Structure 1
Amino acid sequence: MTLEQHYETISTWLREDDQRMACLRAVADLNLPDWCIAAGFVRNLVWDRLHDCETTSPLNDVDVVYFDPNDVSEDRDRALETRLLEQLDRPWSVKNQARMHRRNGDEAYRDTKDAMSYWPEIETAVGARLNREGYVELVSPFGLAPLMAGTVTMNTQRPKPEAFWERVEGKGWLERWPKLRVVD
């Protein structure tokens, strides 16, 4: 499949998922700069589809990432989580990537996509957002082929083997999705 085919497939799967679309609409209403919902939000849906799961995995958390260097306070993120929770009862996690480099010991990130390029595994670094016209857009610093290939790949740009294996084992990915292949 080409990048365009992967893009269309994942976008279609997201549009068909009412709970994910409700989350995307709720975050779009906040008008945050350079935002997306990432991590398990997209990754788990794709892995569920690749494994022909009858039901999608529950949203254990909804990771909203955005980039706004003008206000990097954690209080703002907590206030945004509260606003989202008032709209939609989900376990929201909101993080302004303009400050997260400090916590992670990295150089300052340029934008949300750049921040995602430092995440432990590349399949997690896929996000979705709604554009102004309401269409699903995907954000991925590593492309979509690894996610669609059913792999779990350590990020070689920022290799952290201990963190990678802790996530693979601790999150139970190989038990939930046994056809996944680990690439470290």
Structure 2
Amino acid sequence: MEHRDLNTTLALEEKLTRWLHNDDERMHALRTAAKLDLPQWCLAAGFVRNLIWDTLHGFEYASALEDIDLIYYDAGVISEERDRDFEHVLRSMSNHPWSVKNQARMHKKIGVKPYHSVVDAMSYWPEVETAIGAKINHRQEIEIISPFALPLLVNTTVTINSKHPELNTAKNRAADKGWFKKWPKLVFKD
């Protein structure tokens, strides 16, 4: 990686970290999720992506957290019941709308080879910009997690992920969720 690219990535990571720190609701969710201390965990998808798009659109208040996707990777126990148990624990600590998914089993949903980590799983998500997460590490610092370079993610594009087996999924999700109405500066990028 060139020095300039590293500086850009570090600057974007600092910017994202600042945006998260300035959002009390997201910080509360991060601190709550950290208490579970799940392997390779992060709060991902719309949790970070929507904050980016809101901020780049100049919206003063971040989008409501309609659901909070807590993902983790544990190949030892992959039952959906375990994820529901974690959701119950999280809801007992906060009234956020939690959705917990062990990425060790999620490859079955789209029919690809088993994932070997959270980052590997994220690399198959339908839109590149959705494949971003954040966590609070053991040093109590925010850590940004993504299989893609931050300059690809911190913008107003919706990029179809060529690794996802169903390329229309991104366009269908964008339409179903009303992304282009909510964030009018967004553009599709193939």
Fold match by TM threshold 0.5: yes
Alpha-carbon distance in 1 for matches of 2:152, 2:182: 18
| Deviation of the 1:138 alpha carbon | 0.6
Partners of 1:69 and 1:168 lie apart in 2 by 31
State the distance in 2 between where 1:161 and 1:101 align: 16
CA distance in 2, matches of 1:167, 1:158: 13
Runs of 4+, deviation exceeding 4 Å = none
Query: What corresponds to 2:187 in structure 1?
Result: 181
* Contact 2:32–2:90 under 8 Å retained in 1: yes
The one-letter amino acid of 1:97's match is Q
- The alpha-carbon deviation at position 146 of structure 1 amounts to 2.1
- TM-score, scaled to structure 2: 0.94
- The equivalent position to 1:128 in structure 2, one of 131, 134, 140, is 134
Alpha-carbon shift at residue 148 of structure 1 (Å): 1.4
The aligned amino acid for 2:9 is L
Q: Tell me if the contact between 2:41 and 2:70 (Cα under 8 Å) persists in the aligned partners.
A: yes
Letter in 1 for 2:44: A
* Equivalent residue letter for 1:144: L
Q: Which amino acid aligns with 2:137?
A: N
Counterpart for residue 51 of structure 2? 45
Distance 2:59 2:110 in 1: 34
Deviation at 1:35, TM superposition (A): 0.4
Alignment partner, residue 12 of structure 1: 18
- Mapped pair 1:170 → 2:176: yes
Pairwise CA RMSD: 1.0
- CA shift, 1:159, in A, is 4.9
How many angstroms does 1:61 deviate by?
0.3
Once residues 167 and 108 of structure 2 are traced to their aligned partners in structure 1, the CA distance between those partners, rounded to angstroms, is 20
SS across alignment from 1:93: strand
- SS of residue in 1 equivalent to 2:162: coil
**SS, match of residue 114 in structure 2:** coil
Question: Unpaired runs of 5+ in structure 1?
Answer: none
The aligned amino acid for 2:111 is G
User: Quick one: distance in 1 between partners of 2:176 and 2:150?
Assistant: 24
What corresponds to 2:98 in structure 1? 92
The one-letter code matched in structure 1 to 2:51 is L
- Cα distance in 1 between the residues matched to 2:62 and 2:99: 20
2:20 aligned counterpart, secondary structure = helix
What SS is found at the alignment partner of 1:63? strand
Q: Tell me what 1:109 maps to.
A: 115
Alpha-carbon offset, residue 40 of structure 1:
0.3
Shift in Å at residue 5 of structure 1? 0.6
Instruction: Specify every segment of 5 or more residues in structure 2 that has no aligned partner in the other structure, as ranges.
Output: 1-6
Cα deviation code 1:44-101 (max 9, x no counterpart): 0010000010211100100000000111111110000000000010110000001111
Give TM-score, length-normalised by structure 1: 0.97
Q: Distance in 2 between matches of 1:56 and 1:158?
A: 28
**Residue equivalent to 2:75:** 69
The count of corresponding residues between Structure 1 and Structure 2 is 184
